[in-house]
Structure 1
Amino acid sequence: MKVLLLVLLAGAALTLLLTYLSKLFFPKKSEEQEKASEPSEECCGAHEVCETDLLNKMSEEIIYYEDEELDVYRNFEENDYNDDQIDEFREVLYSLKEKEIEPWLKSLELRHINLPSTIKSEVVFMLVK
């Protein structure tokens, strides 16, 4: 009986010691760190896209993808395009390689060119797959 009691006490002491050591060497994240790791409120839910946007915002260089003709649509609203204009965006989009899509979007943003709403949905579909 004494042996069983000593084993239980030793087990409890060992558990307390391990708990103390784990808190000492592996502290929990602070609330600020946890909030920083969560997606921002502006995030659309497609985290890969949002994270890429954050990285792309660091670069302010405008790169053209043989799409200089799209500069005429500077400051258009996304619903102001007619079918022929939308097809111009679509032609450029489908000529791009997959890795060029995100930089192209950044280039359009820097040039103040809004994508037509129908093209936005196509781009999201292409990036998510």
Structure 2
Amino acid sequence: MEVLLIALVGIACIAFLTTYIGQRWRSKKGGDVVIETPVEPVEECCGAHEICETDLINKMSEEIIYYEDEELDAYKNFEENDFNDDQIDEFREVLYSLKENEMEGWLRSLELRKIELPSIIKSEVVFMLVRN
């Protein structure tokens, strides 16, 4: 048992010394020089930030952007439970024609235009946002 313990300690010491000596030798040779390559800005949000810069800009903007949904202006000042099935389908048609990165902008556009989403569409939007 003592022989096994001494052998394990010896192997650990040898591993430590070789790692230590190897690192010092590489640093003297200049092997640890890190060359940073410039990173080009990404057009779309990469999702790596807590707050995406593009989302922040969109939220600050008061400009109304239409997503081929001008017909929804007819529902200005409706309550979320005032819609019939055909009207809900109009919202659904626009929602499912959007690209992933357009959904937040579309919601902001509706907010600026004072258009409330039907309650069922709100549920679908939440599901889609959580899924992505």
Q: Normalising by the residue count of structure 2, what TM-score does the alignment of the two structures yield? A: 0.56
Aligned partner of 1:99 in structure 2 is 101
Q: Shift of residue 54 of structure 1? A: 6.3
CA distance in 2, matches of 1:55, 1:118: 29
Identity of aligned residues (%): 84
- Partner Cα separation in structure 2 for residue 120 and residue 53 of structure 1: 20
1:79 to 78, 81, 104: 81
Task: Give the corresponding residue for 1:70.
Answer: 72
Aligned: 1:111 with 2:113: yes
- The whole-number CA distance in structure 2 between the counterparts of 1:72 and 1:102 is 21
Secondary structure of the residue aligned to 1:101 is: helix
Distance in 2 of aligned mates of 1:57 and 1:65: 16
> For the aligned residues, what is the CA RMSD?
2.2
Quote the offset at 1:57 in angstroms.
Answer: 3.1
Give 1:97's aligned amino acid. Answer: K
Cα deviation code 1:51-82 (max 9, x no counterpart): x9766431111000000000000000000000
- Give runs of ≥4 in structure 1 deviating > 6 Å: none
Unaligned runs of 5+ in 2: 1-49
Alignment of 1:1-129 (within 5 A): 56-129=58-131
Amino acid at match of 2:72: L
Structure number, greater radius of gyration = 2
Paired letter, 2:102:
E
Deviations 1:65-116, CA, capped at 9 Å, x for gaps: 0000000000000000000000000000000001100000000000000000
More helix as a share of residues: 1
